Chain A
Amino acid sequence: MIKNEKLKLIAAVAALVSAAAGSAQAQDTIKVGILHSLSGTMAISETTLKDTMLMLIEEQNKKGGVLGKKLEPVVVDPASDWPLFAEKARELLEVEKVAVVFGCWTSVSRKSVLPVFEELNGLLFYPVQYEGEESSKNVFYTGAAPNQQAIPAVDYLMNELGVERWVLAGTDYVYPRTTNRILETYLKSKGVADSDIMINYTPFGHSDWQSIIAEIKRFGSAGKKTAVVSTINGDANVPFYKELANQGISAEDIPVVAFSVGEEELSGIDTGPLVGHLAAWNYFMSLPTEENDEFIEKWHAFIGDSKRVTNDPMEAHYIGFNMWVKAVEKAGTTDPAAVQEAIIGVAVPNLSGGIATMMPNHHITKPVFIGEIQEDGQFEIVWETPGTVVGDAWSDYLPSSKDIMADWTPPLMCGNYNVKTGQCSGQKYE
């Protein structure tokens, strides 16, 4: 009898210990999903972001992880294939049960995963500048909205360089089309005449720029200072700038300000013809701050190559990741609903010596810098906004969205609230 009881006790203790061990093992880590293309056309840009996330996670783990648990990266490859993005997102949320996902680059990939994140109530941090006109409960936009990149760039050209004639050149897809629509309305509101705006769209990967550059040249010889605002997508940029230089147009004659040419893109090309042209970003590798130096050093050590550059979307992930960590610690749990509530108002340092705050519309505050391209593929910062700019989800310059606002705090809790009609039109984004 006694012996039996003893045995029972031992068994019970053993069961308890093993159960505890088991559950400890199961909850030992917090899974973090990384949804960036590692193959296909977008691999060029997105691979770097995957590495950035791995570095940030490794570092956080060195500091002891989050809530006493280690972070475990789960990397999937959506292969630049938009429907596959949705599948992989579902896999991350349903099968891997990740606490949060960092990923996407193109707007179409974000639109593709959006329904998945909303259905399964996941969290997505999106690190790239985009066209705005969206605010989802489940997405945090750490890249720039048009008013954090395009509008300040145009202000710079208009006020500092005295530009009066505008070429809006872009690749033919949603980001350039929306951005140019916003810019066109903005320019007209500033009194620019219709005849002083030229809009041009080209297909993806356009490589024969001869006649378009000739047209720009002609447009620019009308006696007014002319500038090109370029939303040309990554790959088509090299032949574009080469042709500009070959036709003898220098940055001093007709400056080009680009929204998708950064350090990473410049590292793959001969920068000779680009010197003096401009780019607008919220971060440049050449920023002379301590935080930035430290970040670059860590990046070089992590990637094992001191020639690799850092760029704006990397900083966006840096900010987004730190915000998520802070929000999780604030909420005391990784539960998406709790994190969504906790993250609003969370402030973390950015790499330019300031503070980034998560706003109720799920966009963050950012400073805007204008840089001139230099021979070494870096940017000379020639202008910056006095303070940070709050990301505007719904542009004030589009008639269809000027009355709409996003606010994910109670009592509104709406991504597209129409202040005129007082209605929240549900998850309708167009």
Chain B
Amino acid sequence: MTFFRSRRRKGGRARLVTGFLAFLAFAHAALASPEFAETLERLGAAKSYEDRLLAARRLAESGHPNALAVLGDLLEGRLYTTRTDGRVVVAETAGEGYAIRDPATGEDLGRVGRRDVTRIGLNNQLRSSLRMLIAKLRLEDDNKSRRLAAIEEIGRSGDAEMIDVLAELAGREHDDKIKKAIETAIAVLRLDAEDAETRIAAIEAVSGNMSAHVRAKLTRLAGDDSLDAETREAAARALERIEAKAERYELLSTMFFGLSLGSVLVLAAIGLSVTFGIKGVINMAHGELIMLGAYTTYVVQQAFPSAIDYSLPIAIPAAFVVSGLVGIAIERGIVRFLYGRPLETLLATFGVSLILQQTVRTVFSPLNRSVTTPSWMSGSIEIVPGFALTLNRLYILAFSLVVFALLLLVLRYTRLGLEMRAVTQNRAMAKAMGIRSDRVDMLAFGLGAGIAGVAGVALSQLTNVGPNLGQAYIVDSFMVVVFGGVGNLWGTLVSGLGLGVVSKLLEPEVGAVLAKILVLVFLILFIQKRPSGLFPQKGRAAEG
């Protein structure tokens, strides 16, 4: 419970026990405090955001053990008022309606329908003020990372009155990292100081700081004509240092963006490379197999709504199986009758892609489906201050490399892989050696389709899960495969990552639209010169 966290007590066991008993008695009285209830009522009745903020402030100052929890509920949008008597309650979704409880005492108030309660609305200003109130209450939180976040929040507040509070905290703090954070926060707050000397000292103190907030503040100081020249110069110098650092990181970021875009391309294209390579089958339904993988993720999340964090590990094999089976069905049902007739295969699989799209539209509705990003994939990881990588991209980059490695291992060390390579290189000879090339075709198609499904799981974390998901990626996938060299996995990897990096290098210069066009033009020219791609297939099969 929060009221244990809010005070750090030390002392003998006896003191602790008596203290605890006293505390319980106090807690009960405090929980039912009429003042607190009255403030809550005021919060519920408030019509304007200003009134709500006033009430929230009073809640924060009440010292009530549940104040922090209530403010948190308000910030997260869990505080409602009942339509009948305007009572403030905490509501959580339960089935078709809400389960409600009393915010002060935690007493369970049963269930109500969706339209029986009205949410206490927030706007951005109120939200950031609430965050500040919560940060103030959490300055002495037991949890280090929460304490750290609270201190940074205070630094951003621009509230000069907090300097003394922070300074006092710094004296009591034992953790070095947090101590430093407090110093930074104080320096940031002092940037607004009246006194030029304090201001310049503060500027010096924050000159290596990369946070956007500090940068914005320094820019303002450097350009503020009403300030003395010294301050402006100091700010400009600090800013210069920060910007030089930022520029270095920018290049790194761009490389990462490129690799990450490339990894998505590789992931989408690699399955196509397998099916394309084996018999030159142009599978236009490849995008839809990706889509099926994404929808599998959605179904898994719907089936286990309480285990969102584990949904992806479950969805990956599931999507592999679903898309793989559909792929095998396409191969058995249509493609195998059309081997050696690329145009007909193209048309037939295009038809399949339309059928799959419309099926999904009928089964799931034409609207996009909501796939939740697990908490471990949200946000970013700060490598050094000012240079952060977004987690979802990082995971997907790693994931695509793992998929690539696994596929390579399968082709190299398994019987299926050996047979696939044999059939690709010389079908007639492989047949003569007793390989059932028919079966190999089927399994290879299934493998390629399954990988497409796995790619769909990754894409569900980046883009919309809807019937058109596949179409968006089919052209790019073909581009990567053709550029890399048909049927060459390494080629796919190099061309995918290469195209990704090139697009991202071009994008800031010429804009996203033109970058895409330039990449396409380059590809066309390249294919004119080298029709079989970066890494052309060697051997007899390539000539035949």
Contacts and interface: CB of A to CB of B under 8 A. Distances in A.
A380 B121 contact: yes
A172 B514 CA distance: 11
B380 A248 contact: yes
Interface residues of B, number: 60
B445 interface: no
A239 B508 contact: no
Interface string A208-240: 101110110110111110000000000100110
Nearest to B256: A210
Interface size grouping (class) on chain A: 35 or more
Contacts of B127: 251-252, 276
B56 interface: no
B372 interface: yes
B390 interface: yes
Given A210-B504, A212-B512, A253-B212, A269 B368 contact: yes
Contacts of A41: 468
Nearest to B221: A223
A59 to B, nearest CB: 21
Given A43-B361, A44-B368, A270-B370, A223 B464 contact: no
A246 B390 contact: yes
A217 B212 CA distance: 8
A243 B390 contact: yes
A235 B361 contact: no
A214 B253 contact: yes
Interface stretch (B143-151, B165-173, B257-265, B341-349): B257-265
Interface in B499-526: 504, 507-508, 511-513, 516
A267 interface: yes
B138 interface: no
B507 A211 contact: yes
Contact of B367 (A206, A223, A264, A273): A264
Given A220-B212, A268-B369, A212 B507 contact: yes
A211 B367 contact: no
Contacts of B370: 267-270
A239 B464 contact: yes
Contacts, number: 153
A39 B264 contact: no
Contacts of B508: 211, 215
Interface string A233-268: 001001100110111100111010000000010011
B390 A267 contact: no
Given A211-B508, A247-B388, A44 B121 contact: no
A221 B366 contact: no
Given A223-B219, A235-B468, A238-B368, A246 B379 contact: yes
A267 B369 CA distance: 8
B393 interface: yes
Interface string B113-130: 010000101111001100
Contacts of B361: 39, 43
Interface string B456-492: 0000001110111000100000000000000000000
Contacts of B294: none
Interface of A: 38-39, 41, 43-44, 47, 161, 172, 200-203, 205-208, 210-212, 214-215, 217-218, 220-224, 235, 238-239, 242-243, 245-248, 251-253, 255, 264, 267-270, 272-273, 275-276, 306, 372, 374-376, 380, 382
26 contacts: A43-B366, A44-B466, A201-B511, A203-B513, A206-B512, A207-B463, A208-B264, A210-B260, A212-B507, A214-B253, A218-B246, A220-B216, A222-B219, A223-B220, A235-B468, A239-B463, A242-B462, A243-B390, A246-B393, A247-B390, A255-B124, A264-B367, A268-B464, A375-B76, A380-B121, A382-B123
